[in-house]
Structure 1
Amino acid sequence: MSSPNDVTFRLPRNRRSVPRARALLHAVLGGWGVGQAVLDSAELVLSELVTNALRAPAPRDRQVGVRITRAVGEGRLRIEVSDAGGGRPEVREPGADETGGRGLLLVAALADHWGYEERAGGIGKTVYAELKAPDLVAEPETREVAAVMVRAGQRVRVWGAWRTVRAVRSEQCPSGGTAVVLTLDDGPALRVQATEPLTVRVEEHPR
């Protein structure tokens, strides 16, 4: 589901997905040491891309995919949003009396580079935006990350001890939102909200 530099998650096609995406992005970028200015821009970009994806004509059971990646050496952050809708995204210049249609104008203004690609092996498209993030930090020995970023093979601090994560899966909560279920090497599985912070030992490598 995720790696230290690459986080993916899926969202249902409903209006609650936009604030949910922002919350997940905030948790991820907080763990990456991204400054407030870049964080604000990234949240606006993601909000517009997810909003457009939800508006794209597609079957209601098709989810919206989000991928967030970082390149520490290049100081670059990339946000991708995929949907099953057709068409191609185009920047519009709405009139002064129009209340909508400015989403991609905002994305183009905030992003260092943006575009779209057809989805490989399926219908729909992926719209991406890249932002400069010179304050991205390398991995510390231990750090707090959102549960959605934890991967199999890592060691997490739970119940006062270090446990090895054997498997990771995500699921929708009945009350809304996304939960992450971690299967551990000892004790019961841990089920937490995707945005809940967990302490991990990053010197451990996936097995």
Structure 2
Amino acid sequence: MAALIDVSFRLSRRPRSVPRARAALHAVLADWSAGDDLLHTAELVLSELVTNALRVRAPNDRQIGVRIAYSATGGMLRLEVSDAGSGRPELRRPEADETEGRGLWIVEALSLRWGVSPRAGGIGKTVWSELKAPALTPARATREIAAVAVQAGQSVRARGDWRTVRHVRTERQASGGLTVVLGLDEGPPLRVPAGEPLAVRDPAVQ
């Protein structure tokens, strides 16, 4: 039984990526039987890390990388957010009337430890946070992939439950984007942007 379980996905450099990262984290941790306190803390930390990454000066076509990892050996949840910007984020003490600059203070207050590392395999950096999570029970077969890569026969987490994918088709939007339509074993089809991260399980391991 592997000691480390992780889920990774990428997000565009847009404000909507903050709630998308939070929703993906919530789905993963709920599937790992996380309690409400850990869910709330992890969502706060990841929101701040993604928000900071969006503020970094970098080309708009560069995506933000998110990794959610759990070490069963140490009972540790690790959240990582990677960006293509240079420099290192630093704690600073904002003035009382400032509304920005408090993100890393929140991360430091809620984390067991946090830090910054060079971005693996590319330019930029990874800002990470570790939280104590001894009671998690991750579903080992679960992983995150883009909606466009989902195949019939796999299960996806949809509307709070697991559904088997019966068929997959794509539709071209008027704007030029691509929508994936997943026909499920129960309920209406699931329509999501092609790049949207979805939690999936392969049929052989259910």
Using structure 1 for the length normalisation, give the TM-score.
0.71
Whether the 8 Å CA contact 1:81–1:127 is kept in 2: the answer is yes
Secondary structure, counterpart of 1:38 in structure 2: helix
1:38, distance to aligned residue in structure 2 (A): 0.6
Please give the alpha-carbon distance, in whole angstroms, between the structure 1 residues aligned to 2:164 and 2:54: 40
Secondary structure, counterpart of 1:77 in structure 2: strand
1:18, distance to aligned residue in structure 2 (A): 0.4
> What residue number does 2:205 align with?
204
Whether the 8 Å CA contact 1:63–1:83 is kept in 2: the answer is yes
Whether the 8 Å CA contact 1:148–1:180 is kept in 2: the answer is no
1:191, distance to aligned residue in structure 2 (A): 7.5
Report Cα offsets for 1:140-171 as digits up to 9, x if no partner: 8x8xx57649999xx7458xx988xxxxxxxx
Report the residue type matching 1:135 in the other structure: A
Residue-pair matches, total: 180
What are the residue-to-residue correspondences of 1:11-160 with 2, within 5 Å? 11-137=11-137, 139=139, 148=145, 156=154
Please give the alpha-carbon distance, in whole angstroms, between the structure 2 residues aligned to 1:122 and 1:148: 21
Secondary structure, counterpart of 2:115 in structure 1: strand
Relative to structure 2, which stretch is displaced further, 131-140 or 18-27?
A: 131-140
Structure 1: gaps spanning 5 or more residues = 164-172, 183-189
Pair 93,202 (structure 1): closer, same or farther in 2 beyond 3 Å: farther
1:72, distance to aligned residue in structure 2 (A): 2.1
Say what the alpha-carbon RMSD is for the aligned residues: 3.9
Structure 2: gaps spanning 5 or more residues = 157-162, 166-172, 183-188
Whether the 8 Å CA contact 2:33–2:137 is kept in 1: the answer is yes
Pair 47,7 (structure 1): closer, same or farther in 2 beyond 3 Å: same
Report the residue type matching 2:61 in the other structure: D
Please give the alpha-carbon distance, in whole angstroms, between the structure 1 residues aligned to 2:103 and 2:57: 17
Using structure 2 for the length normalisation, give the TM-score.
0.71
Secondary structure, counterpart of 1:5 in structure 2: strand
1:121, distance to aligned residue in structure 2 (A): 3.7
Whether the 8 Å CA contact 1:23–1:195 is kept in 2: the answer is no
Report Cα offsets for 1:19-67 as digits up to 9, x if no partner: 1110101001111111110110100000000000000000111010101
Please give the alpha-carbon distance, in whole angstroms, between the structure 2 residues aligned to 1:180 and 1:31: 23
Whether the 8 Å CA contact 1:113–1:130 is kept in 2: the answer is yes
Pair 195,35 (structure 1): closer, same or farther in 2 beyond 3 Å: farther
Whether the 8 Å CA contact 1:118–1:124 is kept in 2: the answer is yes
Please give the alpha-carbon distance, in whole angstroms, between the structure 2 residues aligned to 1:96 and 1:33: 38
1:10, distance to aligned residue in structure 2 (A): 0.6
Whether the 8 Å CA contact 2:65–2:81 is kept in 1: the answer is yes
Report Cα offsets for 1:87-136 as digits up to 9, x if no partner: 11111111111111000000000011100011234211000000011220
